[in-house]
Amino acid sequence: MADLFSAYTLKGVTLRNRIGMSPMTMFQSTDGLMDDFHLMYLGARASGGFGLVFPEQVAITPEGRSSVACAGIYDDSQIPGLARVASMITKMGAVPALQLGHTGRKGSGVPPFTDDRSGRIQYQLAPDHPDGWECVSPSAVPYGGKYNYPVHELSKAEIQGLYRAYARAAERALEAGFQWLEMHFAHGYLGASFFSPLSNHRTDEYGGSVENRSRFLIEALDAVREVWPERFPLTVRLGCDDHNPEGIHFDDALTTICAMKQHGLDLADISLGLNTDDIQNPPFNEVGFMVERAARIKREMQVPVATSWNLGAPQYADQLIREGSIDVVLLGRPALANPHWPVWAARELGYADPFSLLPQDWGWCLSNYRGHGSSIGWPEVVATARP
């Protein structure tokens, strides 16, 4: 029976366990470049035992970033920094993964922990601000609320240009050494806004029916599939529910995942649509609230699945893998809080040698020269080791 620490093979890639670090935006880039910060931050999670490590979502165009402080993959100058990160993740025993995205209506922003010097939080900059730009969308419908500047409706020619940008970004990811590629179609970003009737009011072949609203997603997937090697996984993070009666419904996601499977999708990463702040019965404080949807996709569509959102309790994460509900557990905030979460989880679950998840040199040292029970800052293991 598979468990949280069993290996997982998808296509030609094998993860050492079922634990992945989810992409988390850090607002630490200049000109879209990754630097020593990213090398430190992501290398620490790989050395801490994660099987799959994502940097933050990387933008396929400059205007696809959340802010000017976010990472990109739209220029060849960004490849060396990405390559350093991928190399470090690989050296530390994890699989380097990359998430391609475009923030659409939620771009031209500022880091969420900054203000406008008056104590008021500012989320989005005006298009004429030196660090701002005009955001794009399937329709000229602003997100609303904290993102309320006018947006530009994409023409069909501009849509085709985005497909080329996706494909070129995938080529750069391959050149940089990444072995797992995910396309971000959730969280109110561009792919999600095409998918949701809240933001997509088009009357051409990209709007209306669920088949039309998913056309952008599938054609972008096709563009990447043409250049991304078959031996490496190609996955999608799909927003499957807007929690709003006028938005995405889960049946839409089932239809679209079925179609994506026919176009080369290898795994579905299930998340929220977040195309509006008007969320009814928000689930954010519920443990594992995406698991039931992910499990249904796995069962009915016969597609491997991953998900995130409140899965940071080791016993629960292990249970999900043992039950076969999902194939990979993705952790965001738990990974930020504890770069050695897998080692901690292994101890909590009673594995005999949790330090074997660390790089060989210090894992060996911690396993063999413990000294006093609490001298290295870890409580003594009292659980019975599993056979």
Catalytic residue numbers, as ranges: 189
Size (the chain), residues: 387
Burial (CB < 10 A; 0-12, 13-18, 19+), residue 170, is buried
Distances (CA, A) of 54 to 20, 42, 78, 178, 264: 8, 8, 16, 10, 21
User: What secondary structure letter does DSSP report for 155?
Assistant: P
DSSP 73-130: -SSGGGHHHHHHHHHHHHHTTSEEEEEEE--GGG-SB--TT-B-SSS-B--B--TTST
| Rounded Cα gap, residues 72 and 63, in angstroms | 10
| Rounded Cα gap, residues 170 and 247, in angstroms | 30
Number of C-alpha atoms within 13 angstroms, CB side, residue 256? 33
| Rounded Cα gap, residues 283 and 247, in angstroms | 16
